[in-house]
């Protein structure tokens, strides 16, 4: 029964790509119908010229010319209306794709850097999505909708005269060969251009993030030199791709113009030989040109088509790599314990264990200090505890439930996280503390700020909680960002609070506030895990865990573990002292 209830609570997730196509099906049918009507109405100019040359001119009838002109004008208006309808429908289909896939793609962009290989840039996923959406609403799709009508025009050319029909067939075959060669020549270069575009964007992002360092240390010329080399490589590949595509387009355009002139010449010969009327000369030339125009347009838009096709494949690959999990059964908020069982973890996509076989248990009201030398696995441990890194073996359980038994949103409500590098977002102080939740309770925001000891600091800002902190919190000092980041971690009273070097940018006042915050979490029955390099962060913890070489070296009550650390440090044959993990004297550690 329990299994049945759990299964019924899960929601079947749909493939957003398939859903987008399904929702667009009616629009695509409308575009196909509009394309059919447009292509039929494209015959207007050919038949108008045919009637003028074969009927109006010989009869010298002005009324007939006026009637034909009015009819042609009406048909042209219908053609324009259908063209407009088709373009608007394609724009609406692009909107449907955006509406159906936009949120899912954004979530993939956020997850890609932490759930896939480090080489994958999350922004490239959004660029691929924009590429697909832009192509759908461009002039490319109409050309491909017009291509199936090529046999229709060729058949009419045969009705004019078999020789003209054969010329149209020959021209169509040659253009198809050119289309194939265009596709074959641009596939590889388009892929290379995409890769270099990603490298170029990553370089620019890194340079912009580190602009202060570059300016302070006079590194602008060196970075400019690297940028020039990177950009030159991109420019060379882009030029190769563009030259290939434009070369085939130019050949196609000249060939179509030459073929149109050839049809005029052949039509003239047919008229001289009394095998066709005079109107055939102009009508067949216009019709042949129109028959081959979709092929020319397809070649002109082939580069965009190839880019969109490759982008669509990459999105499909990322959707398969980052599936959206079904919504699990909603569990009660954890209140009792954290159990880490034989935990082994490492970066996503690499299958490389950075931490291995770590086990410990904490009860509500406990605080754990994590110490260890540099590169011992401290930050790696907290990444696994917060589900940032995948768990390859073992488990992390809150009240007996593994982390993956909660949805991302529910797990986030029970977890507070302060990383080493504090990154705030453009917006107000209140928005950042409330994690940008919709309509947060102001009392909860203020309570989190007070718990972090930052309420008075915020009130001294120009607009208090409504102060706009700028991009990445640039309007605040490093210490202020860290303390507001702590308030964000405490928002909503999460059961598990993980703090990675929370006092790295704090002054004495900030460290006192940090200690009070840890004590406050323990008093309300939460669990705190603190990664520490400085002893002041350990003041309010009751357990200590020492990491070494990615494994658990010691775990237990603070005094017991620190005594072991001190004994090892006092051994004369010990090559390196574990006390370096906190960087202070034994007396300071005991305090």
Report DSSP state, residue 472.
Answer: G
Fold of 14-321: ABC transporter transmembrane region fold (1.20.1560)
The listed CATH number (3.30.160.20, 3.40.50.300, 3.40.640.10, 1.10.10.10) that belongs to domain 334-414+520-591: 3.40.50.300
Question: What pLDDT is attached to residue 121?
Answer: 64
pLDDT band at 117 (very low <50, low <70, confident <90, very high): low
* Cβ-contact 449, 508 below 8 angstroms: no
* Whether the predicted pLDDT of 12 surpasses 60: no
The Cα 266–Cα 255 span in angstroms is 16
Question: What pLDDT is attached to residue 578?
Answer: 43
Cβ neighbours for 35, distance < 8 A, ≥ 6 positions apart: 86, 142, 145, 146, 149
Question: What pLDDT is attached to residue 510?
Answer: 81
- Which residue ranges does the chain devote to CATH 3.40.50.300? 334-414+520-591
- The per-residue pLDDT of the chain, averaged, comes to 81
The Cα 523–Cα 497 span in angstroms is 13
- Which residue ranges does the chain devote to CATH 1.20.1560.10? 14-321
The Cα 49–Cα 389 span in angstroms is 71
**CA neighbours within 13 Å on the CB side: how many for 515?**
15
* Whether the predicted pLDDT of 481 surpasses 60: yes
* Cβ-contact 491, 435 below 8 angstroms: yes
The Cα 468–Cα 68 span in angstroms is 67
Provide the CA 166 distance to its chain's centre, in angstroms: 49
* Whether the predicted pLDDT of 346 surpasses 70: yes
pTM of the model: 0.69
Q: Which of 60-74, 339-353, 447-461 has the lowest mean pLDDT?
A: 339-353
* Cβ-contact 380, 345 below 8 angstroms: yes
* Whether the predicted pLDDT of 7 surpasses 60: no
Share of the chain above pLDDT 90, in %: 15
Q: What is the pLDDT of residues 172-229, one digit of tens each?
A: 888 778 777 777 777 777 778 777 877 777 777 777 666 656 666 667 777 778 778 8
Question: What pLDDT is attached to residue 123?
Answer: 75
């Amino acid at each position: 029964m329990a299994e049945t209830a759990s299964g019924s609570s899960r929601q079947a997730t749909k493939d957003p790509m398939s859903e987008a196509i399904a929702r667009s099906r009616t629009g695509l049918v409308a575009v196909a119908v509009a394309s059919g009507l447009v292509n039929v109405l494209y015959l207007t100019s050919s038949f108008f010229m045919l009637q003028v040359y074969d009927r109006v001119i010989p009869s010298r009838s002005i009324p007939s010319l006026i009637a034909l002109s009015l009819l042609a004008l009406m048909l042209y208006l219908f053609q324009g209306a259908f063209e407009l309808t088709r373009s608007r429908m394609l724009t609406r289909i692009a909107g449907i794709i955006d509406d159906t896939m936009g949120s899912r793609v954004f979530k993939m962009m956020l997850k890609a850097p932490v759930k896939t290989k480090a080489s994958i840039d999350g922004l490239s996923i959004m660029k691929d999505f924009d590429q697909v959406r832009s192509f759908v609403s461009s002039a490319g799709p109409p050309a491909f909708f017009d291509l199936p009508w090529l046999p229709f025009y060729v058949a009419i050319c045969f009705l004019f005269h078999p020789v003209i029909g054969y010329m149209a067939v020959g021209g169509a075959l040659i253009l198809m060969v050119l289309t194939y060669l265009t596709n074959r020549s641009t596939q590889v270069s388009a892929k290379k251009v995409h890769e270099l575009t990603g490298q170029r964007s990553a370089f620019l992002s890194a340079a912009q993030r580190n602009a202060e360092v570059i300016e302070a240390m006079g590194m602008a010329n060196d970075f400019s030199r690297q940028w020039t080399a990177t950009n030159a490589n991109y420019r060379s590949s882009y030029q190769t791709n563009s030259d290939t595509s434009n070369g085939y387009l130019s050949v196609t355009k000249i060939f179509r113009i030459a073929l149109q002139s050839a049809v005029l010449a052949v039509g003239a010969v047919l008229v001289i030989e009394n095998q066709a009327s005079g109107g055939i000369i102009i009508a067949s030339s216009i019709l042949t040109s129109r028959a081959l125009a979709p092929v020319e347009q397809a070649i002109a838009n082939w580069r965009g088509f190839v880019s969109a096709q490759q982008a669509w494949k990459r999105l499909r690959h990322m959707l398969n790599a980052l599936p959206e999990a079904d919504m699990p059964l909603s569990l009660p908020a954890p209140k009792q314990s954290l159990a880490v069982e034989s935990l082994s973890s490492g970066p996503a996509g690499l299958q490389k264990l950075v931490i291995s076989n770590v086990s410990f248990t904490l009860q509500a009201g406990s605080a754990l200090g994590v110490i260890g030398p540099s590169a011992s696995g401290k930050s790696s441990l907290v990444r696994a505890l917060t589900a940032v890194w995948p768990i390859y073996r073992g488990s992390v359980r809150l009240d007996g439930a593994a982390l993956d038994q909660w949805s991302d949103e529910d797990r986030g409500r029970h977890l507070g996280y302060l990383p080493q590098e504090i990154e705030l977002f453009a917006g107000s102080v209140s928005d950042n503390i409330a994690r940008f939740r919709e309509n947060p309770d102001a009392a909860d925001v203020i309570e989190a700020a007070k718990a972090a000891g930052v309420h008075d600091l915020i009130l001294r800002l120009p607009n208090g909680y409504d102060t706009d902190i700028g991009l990445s919190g640039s309007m605040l000092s490093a210490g202020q960002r860290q303390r507001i980041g702590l308030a964000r971690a405490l928002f909503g009273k999460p059961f598990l609070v993980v703090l990675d070097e929370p006092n790295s940018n704090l002054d004495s006042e900030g460290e006192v506030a940090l200690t009070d915050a840890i004590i406050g979490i323990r008093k309300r029955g939460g669990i705190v895990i603190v990664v520490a390099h400085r002893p002041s962060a350990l003041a309010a913890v009751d357990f200590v865990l020492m990491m070494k070489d990615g494994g658990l070296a010691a775990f237990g009550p603070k005094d017991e573990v620190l005594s072991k650390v001190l004994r090892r440090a006092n051994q004369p044959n010990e090559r390196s002292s574990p006390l370096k993990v906190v960087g202070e004297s034994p007396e300071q550690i005991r305090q």
